Amino acid sequence: MLDTAMAMIDATGLTVSLEHIGFEDVIRDAGVARSAVYRRWPYKDLFFSDLLKAIAATAPAAIGTDGTVAEDAVRRLALDRLDQFRTPEGRRALLVELLRQGALRDFEAMHASPQWRTYIALHATFLSLADGELRTEVQAALATAERGLIDGITRSYEQLAALLGLRLRPELGATFDELAAQVSATMRGFVITARSLPDLAERRPRAGVLGAAEPVEWSQPALGVVAVALSFLEPDPRVEWDEGRIATVRGALEGA
């Protein structure tokens, strides 16, 4: 029986469904008339199709964190460490610290978020849908949601690069969109894996790595995200770090 069932799964893939949601329970909790519901959705499968599309369209907005570098956190830390802008080593250490703190904050929020678990499960549900109109519509909704997530991360890293006088490494021929996609995939991988390997989320070695100014506590997601970012970014040789530039940075941070 087990071998046969596993063979079936190998052929079709493991499906994720909404079978734990009772249609009649939803009607009762919504407090609407059953007659009105069945006029709108003559079959419950039609309701669940609309539900899948609604989840795909709205889940990312409800998550509350998306991998972007929080602007308030950047401003506060950068103002506290304004002197670090004066040297290449200081700017790299500041970049590393901003990303280290942000990655841990985002990982913890995403790891605890039921909306993120729903969003990840939705991708698996989508893969199990038969070809047809519903699959096409859910795919389109997911594509729009993913594009919104990536766009937010892209803007965040563009702003961070501008602040710290960084550019994308020319030899990569990459874009900030590609950097954002790599960061998102790295963080999402840690969120998924940490559900079955909780030690991954809890381990915090202290190390002075990747350009950190001193030994600090590193989460595994932070190591991954910082390594990805540093592989894409380098100091922009066209940016001159004189006193005028420092004053401009200070003004931008204080007026943010």
In angstroms, the CA 185 to CA 190 distance is: 9
> What is this structure's pTM?
0.82
pLDDT at 45 exceeding the cut of 80: yes
What integer pLDDT is reported at residue 176 of this predicted model?
97
What integer pLDDT is reported at residue 229 of this predicted model?
96
Looking at per-residue confidence, does 82 or 171 come out higher?
171
Residue 62 banded pLDDT, cuts 50, 70, 90? very low
pLDDT at 64 exceeding the cut of 80: no
In the chain, % of residues over pLDDT 70: 91
Q: What average pLDDT does the segment 47-60 reach?
A: 77
Q: Is 234 helix (H, G, I), strand (E, B) or coil?
A: strand
Q: What average pLDDT does the segment 217-229 reach?
A: 94
In angstroms, the CA 77 to CA 97 distance is: 9
What integer pLDDT is reported at residue 131 of this predicted model?
83
Contacts of 215-221 spanning 24+ positions with Cβ under 8 A: 216/97, 216/100, 218/100, 219/100, 219/103, 219/104, 219/107, 220/190, 221/103, 221/104, 221/106, 221/107, 221/186, 221/187, 221/190
